Amino acid sequence: MSDDESFITVASAVLALVVWMVWYLRLGRRGALGLTVPGRGVLSLAPLGCAALIIGVLTTIASHDVINDPKYIFQYAAMGMAWVGVGTHMLFEWLGISARDDLMERRNPAVVPVLSGGMLGLACCFAGGNVGDGPGWWVVVFAAVLATAGLMMTWGIWERVAHLSDQVTIERDLAAGHRLGGFLFGTGIIMGRAVAGDWISAGDTIADFFAVAWPVVVLLLVAIAIDRSARATPERPEPAVTAFGVMPALIFPLLAFGYVSWLGLPE
């Protein structure tokens, strides 16, 4: 490893350790989640699922000099978990979802699927940046930034149209939380695939990104249509979680997975 690779590895490992240590300490607090076992279980397993996803990509379809080298696998796994941790704690707050405030202090179970789905979406964004050959870790960061920006922008558009964070944080609508979580996961799958492939240049990466990521517009239109028919009304103040939350939430990752499977691996 070069000096900069060693530095980024140590820095990422320390950051990931601190972020996730704080996460699990907060989950272990007596008042967290109102002591609901399912909520604790989901948010305890979500980071492990992200780690499994990232490591799975690193050991199979990442750059040829990474998949067989434990040092580089550790480096990018540490970077990925730091990426997911920081994104969960900082980026989500820009769009109205706070792990600390809504989950730990207000004990709002509706944010559980949002956070878990959002974590997986961020993991997909970072993992996609590792697919294909490139000259160094900065290429992965560039691709991950592009994919994550796309994820957050798409979420921001939906938020602008439907004010979904209010449904989750103020109305505590668990069904809305599931819909948003599923949408973030599905969008992350597409964004991750959109930045995958061998590195040629920044311009080519951006061009390929837009050429591949455009179906998120379809995903967004589907999400807006579903939300308008599934959100709470005076006649239906508490929409059924399974019918109006879980089932719609499954549509987004299934559509996204179908699309990326149709595309196949980048050449």
Three-state DSSP at 200 gives coil
Burial call 3-30: b when 16+ CB within 10 Å, e when fewer: eeeeebbeebbebbeebbeebeebbeee
Percent of the chain whose predicted confidence (pLDDT) is above 90: 61
- Tens digit of each residue's pLDDT (9 = 90 or more) over 140-187: 999 999 999 999 999 999 988 888 888 888 888 889 999 999 999 999
Return mean pLDDT, the chain.
89
* Residue 65 backbone phi and psi in degrees, to 5: -90, 5
At residue 193, the pLDDT reads 97
Contact 225/162 with Cβ under 8 angstroms? no
The reported pLDDT for the residue numbered 180 is: 94
Query: What predicted TM-score, i.e. pTM, was given to this entire model?
Result: 0.92
pLDDT of 29 higher than 80: no
Residue 228 and residue 161 in contact, taking contact as beta carbons nearer than 8 Å: no
Contacts of 237 (CB under 8 A, 6+ apart): none
Instruction: Tell me the pLDDT band of 216, cut-offs 50, 70 and 90.
Output: very high
Q: In this structure, are residues 130 and 76 in contact, taking their beta carbons and an 8 Å threshold?
A: yes
Q: How many CB atoms lie within 10 A of CB 208?
A: 18
What is the token pair recorded at 248? Answer: 């719609």
Which residues pair with residue 62 across a beta bridge? 131
3 has a pLDDT exceeding 70? yes
Contact between residue 212 and residue 143 where contact means Cβ atoms under 8 Å apart: no
Residue position matching structure tokens 């599905």: 186
Which tokens go with 219? 């995903």
Least confident of 90-99, 114-123, 146-155: 90-99
Confidence of residue 64 (pLDDT cuts 50, 70, 90): confident
SS3 222: helix
Find, among 173, 182, 164, 187, the residue nearest to 97 by Cα: 164
What six digits make up the tokens of 226? 């579903």
